[in-house]
Amino acid sequence: MYFIANWKMFGSLNSLNSLNKVIKFFKIFKKNKFLKIVYCPPTTLLGPMAEIFKKTKIDIGAQNCHEQDSYGAFTGSVNSKMLKNIGAKYVIIGHSENRQRGENDKLINQKIKSASRSGLKVIFCIGETLNEKRKKITKKVLNRQLRLGLSKIKSKNKIIIAYEPVWSIGTGLIPNASDLYETINFIKKKIRKIKVLYGGSVNPKNIDYLKTINNLDGYLIGSASQNSKKFIDIIKKRYS
Ligand code: PGA
């Protein structure tokens, strides 16, 4: 079961102090064999975080990468090879906040290929907007995102899907259990043996509800993951 922390554009060197709590918790947590914690901080904190987690089983990941894995004149960009070099094992690709800023399925596909070539595991985000949900075209949208995003990618064993309905990100809203179960099933039927996570407003309060959806392989957690206590609470409650 994955618990992936997405810090987005938050966090300073000071924010790293509270990670000791998470390290301690993970060491003594009896069910730690069954869980994988991955922190995806902003790029500026990848190096310092790699140092902090060096002797632990907690992994780090980036929140995006350039579509080209060789070096080049791309001011402001970071490629998958550079991320791997600094100690990242994962990268989030296709997050709706980046899709909304213009990343399309084709670019996302190039990024996934580039990350895979560099040996990173990809957390590939898909999800429908509120408008698409209202129009009842969720499956059609997910189908397109999966088909184009994973086009010409034969080996999918380093890819994890994060289903994040756009309307649930940062809103406090979550899908109802039967809809979510059905959507996760739909994704798993499309892509055999793939791990599927849920993301969108996961917090210590709604995890009791979310854990009843038993086809999920974990969670991608945004705002609640910036608070170590809340993040730990989510994990504890998931296993209680
Ligand atoms: P949230 O973000 O938990 O703050 O809703 C989740 C995400 O965007 O990955």
Which atom of ligand 1 has the smallest separation from the CA of 223?
4
Average pLDDT over residues 30-52: 95
Q: How many domains does one find in the chain?
A: 1
The predicted-structure confidence for 193-226, as pLDDT tens digits, reads as follows 999 999 999 999 999 999 999 999 999 999 999 9
Average pLDDT over residues 136-140: 98
Say how many Å lie between the first and final Cα of the chain, rounded: 14
- What's the gap in Å between 4 CA and the centre of ligand 1? 10
Cα gap 188→98, rounded to integer Å: 24
What is the per-residue pLDDT for 33?
87
What is the per-residue pLDDT for 32?
85
Closest by Cα among 118, 122, 123 to 80: 118
Substitution candidate for ligand 1 out of 38, 92, 164 with most atoms within 8 A of CB: 164
DSSP state letter for 39: E
The predicted-structure confidence for 100-123, as pLDDT tens digits, reads as follows 999 999 999 999 999 999 999 999
Would you place residue 31 in the very low, low, confident or very high pLDDT band (cuts 50, 70, 90)? confident
Percent of the chain whose pLDDT exceeds 70: 100
Which atom of ligand 1 has the smallest separation from the CA of 224?
3
Six-digit token string for 38: 């991955």
Mean per-residue pLDDT over the chain, rounded: 97
Domain carrying residue 38: 2-239
- Tell me: pLDDT of 46 over 90: yes
- What's the gap in Å between 68 CA and the centre of ligand 1? 27
Domain with 174 in it: what CATH number?
A: 3.20.20.70
